[in-house]
A and B are shown apart, each in its own frame.
Chain A
Amino acid sequence: MGETLRSWKELPLSALPFKLSTEFKTGDWRTFRPVVDQEKCTRCLLCWVYCPDMSIVWDGQRISVNYDYCKGCGICARECPVKAIEMVKE
């Protein structure tokens, strides 16, 4: 063919996903929202470990929930050893 091969940077965009999925909010899937009781929370971070949607945010002091992505599965509330997370209907 005589053509030089194209590098991956020159491929049409259809071959490569090019936007971060953080632009896609999955929070609207939710039926129940996790609500954290900061008084009860012992900062063990088990909720952070088990969250499938990276929606538990740890700032070094306290945890919070990122409702943009939380799908409301309820794993955090179920696994919390001190029951500091409650699932509340939206």
Chain B
Amino acid sequence: MSGKIVFNIRELAKRPPKLLPGHRLCAGCAAPIIAKLALLATDRPTIVVNATGCLEVATTIFPYTSWNVPWIHNAFENAASTASGIEAVIKALKKKGKYKYENVDIIVFAGDGGTYDIGLQSLSGALERGHDFLYILYDNEAYMNTGIQRSGGTPLGAWTTTSPAGRVIPGKTQHKKPIADIAVAHRIPYVATATPAHWMDFMRKVRKGLDVNGPAFIHALSPCDRGWRFDTSETIEVCKLAVDTCYFPLWEFENGEWRLTDRSLAIARNPRLKKPVEEFLKVQGRFKHLFKPENRHLIEEIQRHVDAIWEDLLERTGIK
């Protein structure tokens, strides 16, 4: 069971935050919740590498920085290579006896654009070389920072400014890329999915990812109220619906073994808890057009896709 690591939130909340307020991410954004919780999960010295994206531009608007930990931004496509370089430098300095810390946590934060599309080759290379770092993908399912353009992480049927729903196409015409499965295919020690709503589960996964020797990858869902078109207060609710409908199942892959966690494990044990995917789609304006009669077949298509992945996951985790 993953229940071994316990976080005492009343104690943690007394500490000064490692991600400071005053950042200019939109009201209700999930990305700072993800970054804040991830940084809480460890006490060791931490270095943060940030790919270009919402989190990067909005937390470091010149001359301000919101990072209370060492932080580096390099480019859009090379966050994983930058982390590899940092890990290699630390190794070299340790050999020369010039480095005072025993263990340093290297955490990469990158969005879906910097992971699915632009940063995929550098990520794959770093995973293959086996550098010891944790890569956290905060997936808001489009290029939100530049104005909601579709990415490899955008799901089927979603409206974006470059997959506009109208007479010609009903939103994006392709499915989401299975990025966490791509990470698993590299046979790295630790891969997991998480959402900020299931925060204890997420923090445990961060700790596990940092504790393993070698690369770890966490795919965190990061609902975007501007791009997904929902009220700023519903961010956490949308996360919960994504998990409850099995649109975004919570699982971990540790040393070759698959495991469902938290709410998804509960759903696997009691399938009556599984909600239809419509519940997740209907709260978001980006899927509004799918509820027109001519597009209803797309909801069925999304449901089939979600069910196939869920059934596959049940088999992999040995529940079926």
Task: Give chain A's interface residues, CB within 8 Å of chain B.
Answer: 13-14, 17-26, 29-30, 43, 45, 48-55, 58-60, 66, 68-69, 71-75, 77-79, 87
Contacts and interface: CB of A to CB of B under 8 A. Distances in A.
Nearest to B239: A50
A15 to B, nearest CB: 10
A20 B22 contact: yes
Given A54-B17, A60-B10, 16 more contacts: A17-B62, A17-B63, A17-B65, A20-B20, A20-B64, A21-B65, A25-B22, A45-B10, A52-B27, A52-B30, A54-B20, A54-B32, A71-B27, A73-B225, A73-B235, A78-B236
Given A29-B27, A53-B21, A74 B64 contact: no
Contacts of A75: 28, 232-233, 235-236
Interface in B177-204: 196-197, 199
Nearest to B10: A45
B29 interface: yes
Contact of A54 (B36, B65, B196, B231): B36
A21 B59 contact: yes
Nearest to B33: A52
Nearest to A87: B233
A36 to B, nearest CB: 15
Contacts of B37: 49
Contacts of A68: 21
Contacts of B14: 58-60
Contacts of A23: 22, 64
A87 B28 CA distance: 14
A52 B233 contact: no
Interface centre among A29, A49, A50 (most CB of B within 10 A): A49
Nearest to A24: B22
Interface in B207-236: 225, 231-236
Contacts of A51: 33
A19 B21 contact: no
Contacts of A49: 9, 33, 37, 199
B29 to A, nearest CB: 5
A31 to B, nearest CB: 9
Interface centre among B14, B21, B66, B232 (most CB of A within 10 A): B21
B21 A22 contact: yes
A21 B27 CA distance: 16
B67 to A, nearest CB: 8
Contact of A73 (B61, B65, B232): B232
B29 A52 contact: yes
Contacts of B225: 73
A68 B162 CA distance: 37
A75 to B, nearest CB: 5
Nearest to B71: A17
A26 B24 contact: yes
Contact of A21 (B20, B233, B237): B20
Contacts of B65: 17-21
A25 to B, nearest CB: 7
6 contacts: A13-B63, A14-B62, A26-B23, A48-B9, A52-B29, A73-B233
